[in-house]
């Protein structure tokens, strides 16, 4: 198959932070592509973080503006896109598996256009492998090429060649895109993109470009518009939201944005993800004082050992992390704190791992995503010596999960017999007689009801049972 390589990624180039001014680009669909999707359907598989989910909403919006409609059956559609994640090897292995299945699908439906986007194409190894071993993939584009999508699809149709466009740049900010939001009561709102932290294990600063903030007016207007459309909750998104606004100067930062968004009338504000070093007093004060900012925080710690934190380039110590937790609990006593933890970082000793367990006991996180360290080619940690066996890493993960789950359940138990406010999402997956939603503290709550008019509303529920992963409750009549 002929290949059109418009541009190829380079992790080394992606490392470069040239200090260029951020470009703000307003999206506009070229008339030429208006009807390209007429009578055609599309389907997107989304993997990875909320950033990818938000990107898929934009990609869906763009495709629908081109005339495509969403397919119910992925493989009976005209365009299938895989929006991929590169954060750990097992995330990538999943994608290679799905691609393996798509080979047969393409044989049966040769007109199906298959595209790969998201973080994986930003890695040159992955894109080379896509080019060499998956000839049936028609389109490969990166995280900085979403606004080119109509042109790329057009070229793929026109030339019947494999079209590859992955630039490794510091990135830009795309405003004014159409969006197909998946929910009509809660919404993702990107406030910044990229990451400049360069934690030594992490591929994200290479795949997502430099830290760059949206203009506050654009964010505030987006939230006001959501309020007008009846949305109840926004989750502010960024790789490191606490760095919001720093690219503009020291005057207007994340805490100021929270205060301004609180005035828009949105009922609930959440945000993710935070970096402990950048979480400042102004933000904690804003969380305490703004009614709409929910009493819940995801604050990834990664390790409870200072030497490992140093090798990870996290730029804080365990003591500094604990100080922030103390301050959060002082000002927001009801807060639920969750975290991310990596075990088996190169050469992690048993003693260093114990320090992580000690930290879990001290903070009593009400939930944690726990991972075994995964080597990412191109990052500094990939070159570090690692003498910890996979077996030991797995065993550490199990020991950690046992403690994490214990406090997860305790976090649910502290609401027993209390009345909480739940934003109702819909029918529970495992029991059609229940509805479910999330409380202010981001606890998943199920309660008996078949009243679909409650979906998208905030209701009072008394918690009657606490499990590890969820709470059961009963609706409290007004």
Site residues for ligand 5AD per CB under 6 A: 87-88, 201-202, 300, 302, 340, 342, 371, 373-374, 376
Angle, helix 350-363 to helix 390-413, in steps of 10 degrees: 10
Size of the site for ligand SF4 (CB under 6 A): 10
Positions 184 through 203 that interact with ligand SF4 (CB under 6 A)? 195, 197-199, 202
Query: Cα–Cα distance between 327 and 299 in angstroms, integer?
Result: 13
CB of 372 to ligand 5AD, least distance (A): 7
Q: Would you say 467 and 459 are in contact if contact means Cβ atoms under 8 Å apart?
A: no
3-state secondary structure of 383: helix
**Smallest distance, ligand SF4 to C-beta of residue 208, A:** 8
Q: Using CB atoms, what's the residue nearest to ligand 5AD? A: 340
Residue 106 makes contact with ligand SF4 by CB under 6 A:
no
Cβ density class 189-210: b for 16+ within 10 Å, e for less: bbbbbbbbbebbbbbbbbbbbb
Q: Measured from the CB atom, is 88 or 268 closer to ligand SF4?
A: 88
Dump strand ranges (E) for 259-397.
Answer: 268-272, 296-298, 336-343, 368-372
Q: Judged by CB under 6 A, which of 210, 275, 311, 393 binds ligand SF4?
A: 275
DSSP letters of 415-467?
A: TTT-EEEEEEEEE-SS-TTEEEEEETT--EEEEE---GGGTTSEEEEEEEEE-
Say which entry of ligand 5AD, ligand SF4, none residue 87 contacts (CB below 5 to 8 A, set by partner kind). ligand 5AD
Q: Work out whether the CA dihedral 166, 170, 175, 180 comes out positive or negative.
A: positive
Nearer of residues 46 and 292 to ligand 5AD, judged by Cβ: 46
Token pair belonging to 429: 């997956």
Indicate the residue among 298 and 446 with the shorter CB distance to ligand 5AD.
298
88 binds, among ligand SF4, ligand 5AD, none (CB under 5 to 8 A by kind): ligand 5AD
Q: Whose Cβ is closer to ligand 5AD: residue 87's or residue 442's?
A: 87
Print the binding letters for residues 204-243 with ligand SF4: x by CB under 6 A, - otherwise. Answer: xx---------------------------------xx---
Q: Does 274 bind ligand SF4 (CB under 6 A)?
A: no
Binding of ligand SF4 at residue 303 (CB under 6 A)?
A: no
Rounded Cα gap, residues 470 and 473, in angstroms: 10
C-alpha–C-alpha distance, residues 372 and 397, integer Å: 7
Q: Which is nearer to ligand SF4, 166 or 202 (CB)?
A: 202
Closest contact distance (angstroms) between CB of 342 and ligand SF4 is: 9
Q: Before 273, cis peptide (omega within 30)?
A: yes
Give the footprint of ligand SF4 on this chain (CB under 6 A).
Answer: 195, 197-199, 202, 204-205, 239-240, 275
């Amino acid at each position: 198959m002929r290949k059109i390589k418009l541009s190829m990624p380079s992790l080394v180039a992606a490392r470069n932070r040239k200090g260029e001014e951020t470009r703000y680009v307003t999206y506009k669909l070229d008339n030429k592509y208006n009807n390209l999707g007429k009578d055609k359907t599309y389907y997107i598989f989304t993997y990875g973080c909320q950033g990818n989910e938000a990107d898929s909403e934009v990609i869906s919006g763009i495709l629908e503006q081109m005339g495509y409609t969403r397919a119910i059956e992925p493989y009976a559609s005209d365009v299938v896109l895989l929006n991929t994640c590169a954060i750990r090897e097992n995330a990538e292995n999943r994608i290679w598996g799905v691609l393996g299945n798509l080979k047969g699908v393409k044989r049966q439906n040769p007109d199906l256009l298959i595209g790969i986007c998201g973080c994986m194409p930003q890695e040159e190894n992955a894109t080379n492998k896509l080019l060499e071993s998956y000839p049936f993939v028609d389109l490969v584009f990166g995280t900085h090429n979403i606004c080119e999508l109509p042109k790329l699809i057009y070229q793929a149709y026109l030339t019947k060649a494999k079209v590859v466009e992955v630039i490794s740049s510091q990135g830009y900010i795309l405003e004014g895109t159409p969006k197909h939001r998946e929910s009509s009561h809660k919404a993702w709102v990107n406030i910044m993109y990229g990451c400049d932290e360069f934690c030594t294990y992490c591929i994200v600063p290479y795949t997502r470009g430099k830290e760059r903030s949206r203009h506050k007016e654009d964010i505030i207007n987006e939230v006001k518009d959501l309020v007008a459309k009846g949305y109840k909750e926004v989750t502010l998104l960024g790789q490191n939201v606490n760095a919001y606004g720093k690219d503009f100067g020291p005057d207007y930062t994340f805490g100021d944005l929270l205060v301004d968004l609180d005035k828009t009338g949105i009922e609930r504000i959440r945000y993710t993800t935070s970096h402990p070093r950048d979480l400042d007093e102004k933000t904690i004060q804003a969380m305490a004082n703004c009614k709409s900012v929910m009493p819940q925080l995801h604050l990834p710690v990664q390790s409870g050992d200072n030497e490992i934190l140093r090798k990870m380039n996290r730029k804080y110590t365990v003591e500094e992390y604990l100080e922030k937790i103390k301050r959060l609990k002082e000002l927001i006593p009801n807060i639920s704190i969750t975290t991310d933890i990596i075990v088996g970082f190169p050469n992690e000793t048993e003693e260093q791992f114990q320090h992580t367990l000690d930290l879990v006991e001290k903070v009593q996180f009400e939930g944690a995503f726990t991972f075994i360290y995964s080597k990412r080619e191109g990052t500094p940690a990939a070159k570090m010596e690692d003498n910890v066996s996979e077996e030991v890493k797995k065993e550490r993960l199990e020991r950690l999960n046992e403690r994490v789950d214990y406090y997860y359940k305790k976090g649910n138990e502290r609401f027993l017999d209390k009345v909480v406010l739940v934003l109702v999402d819909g029918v529970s997956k495992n029991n059609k007689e229940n509805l479910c939603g999330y409380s202010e503290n981001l606890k998943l709550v199920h309660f008996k009801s078949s009243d679909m008019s409650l979906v998208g509303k905030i209701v009072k529920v008394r918690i009657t049972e606490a499990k590890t992963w969820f709470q059961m409750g009963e609706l409290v009549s007004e």
